[in-house]
């Protein structure tokens, strides 16, 4: 499969909470990569493509979590059968918020 990303993807490991505002389903995950227009995470919750999500990345910078919104583009069950890898396209890439994530990553 051809990688059609415009923005570079950066590996991270940050706790993430999410909410499906349509049905009220909440979940927790670990963000494993991020770019200006997307985030990838691993969760035990089952999500489907086209699911709208609100997400909060727990950035350790004393300013509170980074809030963003997006839509699930793809999901893949992991080999353990208990977790799912999820790719989300962000609605509006918040570059200032992304800068906070990168600053904390580079600091650590």
Q: Which fold has domain 10-107?
A: Thrombin, subunit H (2.40.10)
The pLDDT, as a whole number, for residue 35 is 84
Q: What is the mean pLDDT of each run of 10 residues along the chain (108 residues)?
A: 60 94 95 90 97 91 84 96 95 62 57
The pLDDT, as a whole number, for residue 1 is 45
SS3 assignment for the chain: CCCCCCCCCEEEEEEEEEEECCCCEEEEEEEEEEECCEEEEEECCCCCCCCEEEEEECCCCCCCCEEEEEEEEEEEECCCCCCEEEEEEECCCCHHHHHHHHHHHHHC
The pLDDT, as a whole number, for residue 43 is 98
The pLDDT, as a whole number, for residue 82 is 95
The pLDDT, as a whole number, for residue 79 is 94
């Amino acid at each position: 499969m051809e990688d059609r990303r415009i923005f570079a993807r950066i590996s991270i490991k940050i706790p993430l909470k999410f909410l499906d505002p349509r049905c009220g389903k909440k979940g927790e995950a670990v963000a494993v990569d991020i770019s200006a227009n997307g985030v990838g995470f691993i969760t035990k919750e089952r999500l489907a493509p086209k699911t709208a999500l609100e997400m909060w990345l727990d950035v350790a910078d004393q300013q509170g979590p980074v809030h963003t919104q997006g839509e699930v583009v793809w999901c893949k069950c992991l080999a353990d059968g208990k977790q799912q890898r999820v790719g989300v396209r962000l609605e509006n890439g918040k570059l200032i918020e992304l800068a906070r994530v990168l600053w904390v990553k580079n600091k650590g």
